[in-house]
Structure 1
Amino acid sequence: MKVFDIIFNKVVRLMEVFLVIIFALLVLDVLWQVFSRYVLNTSFSWTEELARFSLIWLSIFGAAYLNARREHLSMDFLYGKFSDANRKKISIFIEILIFLFALIVMVIGGLNLVYTTLHLGQLSGTLRIPLGYIYAIMPFSGFLIMCFSIYHISKISTNQITV
């Protein structure tokens, strides 16, 4: 299991770096948009679209990162009422549901969306980027979430994660 822990930590670290880069790009883009509008008295139409696409990638990829860290939003009022043995079973069940959601909605649905937009040749309005490339973050993040769910199930099963 040690090899999987090393791989997990490396992937999570790469995700952190990538998320910081996306966020920095988003901040610089918005700052340029504000500067150009109010100081240069001109507006670049591509800045709004780049900010939107950066926010999409930041949100979806950030959700995968939070899933890896097990810091996603949860309501644990009822969960806290269960015994430790039942918490373990419920935690595994929740990870299975997360896995299935990522598989069906994010991976299968995302791949369908990417394929459809690339097949139809849809381009973004200003940047002229194929929208399939923008939407590709959905199946990629879904695949990562699936991998993280399997990792978490193995950790929960061997009592390496407290529930």
Structure 2
Amino acid sequence: MISLLAGLDKALSRLLVMLVAAIVICVCWQVLSRYVTQTPSAYSEEIARFLLIWLGILGSAYAYRTGAHLGLDLLVNQLPKLLRRRIEMLVHILVLTFSLAVMVVGGICLMALAIDPGQYSSAMEVNMAWVYAALPISGSLMAFYALAALFIPVEEEQ
């Protein structure tokens, strides 16, 4: 299980790096095509927007896994170790519940809404369900990471 987590962490971090690189390339192309060739690209702005959506949503799963999310732990750090661990478990349970109920189920419902009437992006004519797919994917990752945090002690992972 720990090796699966390590592999997933590595794959997700590489994917996030590739998304950032793709955004940089896309935006650079947009600037070059607009100011150098005087013919702005019709697709690069929309591609960059969709990549940014995927980056932000998948990045939230990675930030949760690495503990990089913003948190107010001033009070929690003052508590005894056992109570602090119970509060951390409660937080992981809340994250698990949120990620399954809102991100996975809600994301799938959002995808279904985009597929049924055929909601397409304006420039590239891409079905918006592909863009919305970031929600259930990231929610599944967050749920998996929350389960791992609940059942695998931090000491075992390191």
TM-score normalised by L of structure 2: 0.95
Change (3 A) 1:82 1:160: farther
Q: Which runs of 4+ in 1 moved over 2 A?
A: 158-161
Question: Root-mean-square deviation (CA), in Å?
Answer: 1.5
Displacement of 1:159 in angstroms is 5.7
Residue 8 of structure 2: SS of its match in structure 1?
helix
Partner of 1:51: 48
Distance 1:128 1:17 in 2: 28
Q: How many residues get paired? A: 158
Distance 1:135 1:60 in 2: 10
Displacement of 1:160 in angstroms is 4.3
Displacement of 1:70 in angstroms is 2.1
Displacement of 1:65 in angstroms is 1.0
Alignment of 1:124-139 (within 5 A): 124-139=121-136
**Matched residues, percent identical?**
32
Distance 1:78 1:159 in 2: 23
Displacement of 1:15 in angstroms is 0.5
Residue 73 of structure 2: SS of its match in structure 1?
coil
TM-score normalised by L of structure 1: 0.92
Distance 1:91 1:108 in 2: 24
2:106 equivalent to 1:109: yes
Residue 87 of structure 1: SS of its match in structure 2?
helix
Alignment of 1:12-161 (within 5 A): 12-156=9-153, 160=156
